[in-house]
Amino acid sequence: MKQPSPLPPETLEQLSAYLDGQLSQQEQHEVAQRLAVDAVWQAEFASLQAMSELLHELPRRRVPRDFTLTPTMVSIPRFLVFPATVPYSLSSAVAAVLLVALGLRFILDGATQAALSPASSLTYSEAVLQSDESVARLSTPPASALTAPLVADALADVASEPEGMLAQVAAPAEMVTRPPEADMARVGEPTLMVQPEAGASPVLTASPFPSPNPRHMSRATTTITDDQPQAALAATEQVARWAGWWLAWGSVVVGIFSGIVSVGTAWMRLQQ
Amino acid sequence: MVCALARNVNREMQTTETQLIRQASTGDLNAFNALVLLHQEGIFNLAWRVLGEEMAAADATQETFLTAFRKLHTFRGGNFKAWLGRIVTHICYDMLRYQKRRPADSIEDLAPEDNDDGFPLATQDPLPEEVTLQRELQRAIQACINALKPDQRVALVLCDVESYSYQEIANLERVSLGTVKSRISRARASVRECLRGVKELLPLSYRQQL
């Protein structure tokens, strides 16, 4: 059954120190004065005193055997006597160093890529959009030749003269990039998408073959046609970048801290 | 007169101890074993009260003297008992941490009761029920000590059982005097509350005060 003390811990601490004569003269005097008049303090002090005496009277136990050392005992290497502590601490230190190295590598890689990239100030979606737009520009015939009324004619020409159209349209694209073999089979199927949205000028994306990286095409299409604002995508990337940054620096800081603690622990064990 | 005699004996013992330490630090195992015989009871009892198990305490004591022999060259003079106390408390902390990670029943707890528990008998022929009661009280007190946090347990045992001063405990644990004061106070408060739960085992005088 618990009977919490009626006095606050600070007062109990004072009484406990008073019991052991560990207060300054001034404090000793103050406590003595209070004890003389305060019944609660008296009861608490008597209780602490009784308990301390009880512990002090605990019996001494006889040693179960002699602990004298033999030449064999002192010749055993230290690491066999207490095998786990030091090697464990040192292995923790090594793990911490690896953690720091890993974090620094991510940070330095990120810094290097940012320095090398011409569009380092852009978000990923902006960079992808720019690259896709440039691909679309290069792989598309001049806009003046691809006005909306001419699209139907162009399609008809492609259907009737596929080889000619292929040669005509694919030529500029080859200067940009070379599609994979699998995509080459589909080169003859030019992709034309007209977006006759009401109130907006028709947007035309023309490509003689699908983009070598389907992600680029789909992303560019999404960017142009989707109602979702680009800001959401940019924000997501920003969050991901911040998370990566914090993870990398976090691993460095935690690694340094763990390393110091581990080496310190091993050193202290060896000092014992 | 008595005080002067006691001081002389104490000084002689210290001189002897200093000589033994000097000899032991050169690798003299016999000299070191003489030191072991001087301090083994104190170290074992300290470990026993902190760890609460005889076998673990014996292991800790043996490890303490082995470590002390190996590290004797780092002893810079002063209180050899306190130096040993620092080693044994560190070892006890390690063992408590290990026990916390891998809790297990002690063989002592499973074994039948030991008749020789070292309890000082007030009379030559105590009544059997008195012996039983005293033994139960010992167990209850030890259980209350075992329930403390390791740092509070060490501080309480060093102060109230082994009669170390606050300053010695602070040096031994490498903490401030304020920390020692706080640990001892909290430990006493906890043990007192714990003992109030087994008041019927306490001697009448303590029962009334506690």
DSSP B25-86: HTT-HHHHHHHHHHHHHHHHHHHHHHH--HHHHHHHHHHHHHHHHHTGGG--SS-HHHHHHH
Q: Are residues B133 and B83 in the same domain?
A: no
Q: Is the pLDDT of residue A207 over 50?
A: no
By CA distance, what is A50's nearest residue in B?
A: B206
Chain B residues touching residue A49 (CB < 8 angstroms): 209
Task: Assess: ipTM above 0.90.
Answer: no
Say whether both B45 and B6 belong to one domain. yes
Question: What gap in Å lies between CA A118 and CA B137, rounded to an integer?
Answer: 80
| A270 pLDDT tier (thresholds 50, 70, 90) | low
Q: What integer pLDDT is reported at residue B16 of this predicted model?
A: 86
The least confident of A80-89, A137-146, B48-57 is: A137-146
- What is the per-residue pLDDT for A175? 44
Contact check, Cβ <8 Å, A71/B29: yes
Chain A residues with CB inside 8 Å of B66's CB? Answer: 69, 73-74, 81
CATH number at residue B99: 1.10.1740.10
Cβ partners under 8 Å of residue A236, min gap 6: none
DSSP B112: P
Asked if residue B17 lies in contact with residue B80, where contact means CB atoms within 8 angstroms, the answer is: yes
User: Which pLDDT score is estimated for B104?
Assistant: 59
- How many domains does chain A divide into? 1
Instruction: Indicate whether B49 and B137 sit together in one domain.
Output: no
Is residue B118 included in any domain, yes or no? no
- Which residue in B45, B192, B210 is closest to A61 by CB distance? B45
Do the Cβ atoms of B196 and A2 come within 8 Å? yes
Provide residues of A within 8 Å CB-CB of chain B: 1-5, 9, 12-13, 15-17, 20, 22, 46-56, 58-69, 71, 73-74, 78, 81-82, 85, 271-272
pLDDT one-digit tens code per residue, B24-70: 988 899 999 999 999 999 999 999 999 999 999 999 999 999 999 99
**Mean pLDDT score of chain B, rounded to an integer?**
85
Does residue B151 register a pLDDT over 50? yes
> Does residue B159 share a domain with residue B97?
no
**Mean pLDDT, range A244-268, rounded to an integer:** 83
| Per-residue pLDDT, A177 | 44
When comparing pLDDT for A85 and A230, which is higher? A230
CATH number at residue B180: 1.10.10.10
Domain count for chain B: 2
What's the pLDDT score for residue A242?
Answer: 86
Q: For residue B59, what pLDDT is reported? A: 95
**Chains A & B: contacts with CB separation below 8 Å:** 136
| Structure confidence at residue B15 as a pLDDT band (50, 70, 90) | confident
pLDDT band, very low/low/confident/very high, at A131 (cuts 50, 70, 90): low
C-beta atoms surrounding B57 within 10 Å: 25
C-alpha–C-alpha distance, residues A163 and A28, integer Å? 108
Q: What is the pLDDT of residue A228?
A: 64
B107 CA to chain A: closest CA distance, Å? 15
Shared domain check, B97 and B33: yes
**What percent of chain A shows pLDDT beyond 90?**
19
* A25 assigned to some structural domain: yes
Contacts of A272 in chain B (CB under 8 A): 67, 71, 87, 90-91
pTM for this entry: 0.56
pLDDT of residue A79: 54
Which of the listed residues B61, B78, B109 is the one where a domain comes to its end? B109
Nearest CB partner across the interface for B45, out of A16, A60, A74: A60
B116: in domain = no
Across chain A, mean pLDDT equals 68
With contact defined as beta carbons under 8 Å apart, do A43 and B192 qualify?
no
Q: How confident is the model at residue B209 (pLDDT cuts 50, 70, 90)?
A: confident
> pLDDT tens digit string along B108-148?
544 444 444 554 544 556 778 888 888 898 899 999 999 99
> Is A35 within the bounds of a domain?
yes
Q: What's the whole-number mean pLDDT along residues B14-31?
A: 89
pLDDT at position A84? 55
B4 & B103 share domain: yes
Partner residue facing B197 (CB), from A1, A9, A49: A1
Kindly report which listed range (A61-65, A147-151, B27-31, B92-96) carries the lowest average pLDDT score.
A147-151
Instruction: Report pLDDT for A214.
Output: 46
Q: Exposed, middle or buried, A117 (CB in 10 Å: 0-12/13-18/19+)?
A: exposed
Residue A222's pLDDT is what? 44
The predicted-structure confidence for B160-190, as pLDDT tens digits, reads as follows 999 999 999 999 999 999 999 999 999 999 9
Task: Verify whether the Cβ–Cβ distance A60 to B41 is below 8 Å.
Answer: yes
Residue B117 lies in a domain: no
Does B124 lie at the interface with A, CB-CB under 8 angstroms? no
B residues 51-70 lying closer than 8 A (beta carbon) to A: 54, 58, 61-63, 65-67, 69-70
Share of chain B above pLDDT 70, in %: 82
Contact in structure between A195 and A202 (CB atoms under 8 Å)? yes
Which pLDDT belongs to residue A130? 54
Given a cut of 90, is residue A87 above it in pLDDT? Answer: no
Task: State residue A107's pLDDT score.
Answer: 78
- By Cβ distance, the residue of B119, B160, B189 closest to A59 is B119
Q: Is A163 within the bounds of a domain?
A: no
Note whether residue A27 is domain-resident.
yes
| Whole-number pLDDT of residue A151 | 47
- Nearest-10 crossing angle of helices B128-146, B177-196: 130
Residue A232 lies in a domain: no
With a pLDDT cut of 90, the percent of chain B lying above it is: 59
Q: Is the pLDDT of residue A266 over 60?
A: yes
Residue B120 maps to a domain: no
Question: Do B44 and B72 belong to one domain?
Answer: yes
Is B186's CB within 8 Å of A9's CB?
yes
Domain that holds residue B25: 1-109
What are the start-end ranges of the H helices in B71-176? Answer: 80-101, 107-110, 128-146, 150-156, 166-173
Residue A190 reports pLDDT greater than 60: no
Q: Are residues B160 and B204 in the same domain?
A: yes
Structural domain of residue A45, as residue ranges?
9-53
Q: What is the pLDDT of residue A187?
A: 45
In a domain, B115, yes or no: no
Per the CB < 8 Å rule, is A67 touching B44?
yes
B140 and B44, same structural domain? no
Q: In this predicted structure, what is the pLDDT of residue A63?
A: 93
Contacts of B29 in chain A (CB under 8 A): 69, 71, 74
The verdict on residue A44 lying in a domain is yes
Is residue A146 over pLDDT 60? no
Query: Could you tell me the two tokens for B46?
Result: 């300290």
Regarding predicted confidence, which is higher, B200 or A36?
A: A36
What's the pLDDT tens digit per position in A210-238?
444 444 444 444 444 555 678 888 888 88
B80 and B38: one domain? yes
Please give the DSSP secondary-structure letter assigned to residue A145.
G
In-domain check, residue A21:
yes
Q: Quick one: pLDDT at residue B202?
A: 85
Distance of alpha carbon A211 from alpha carbon A17, whole angstroms:
82
Domain membership of residue A269 (yes or no) is no
* Same domain flag for B137 and B100: no
pLDDT at A211: 45
Confidence of residue B11 (pLDDT cuts 50, 70, 90): low
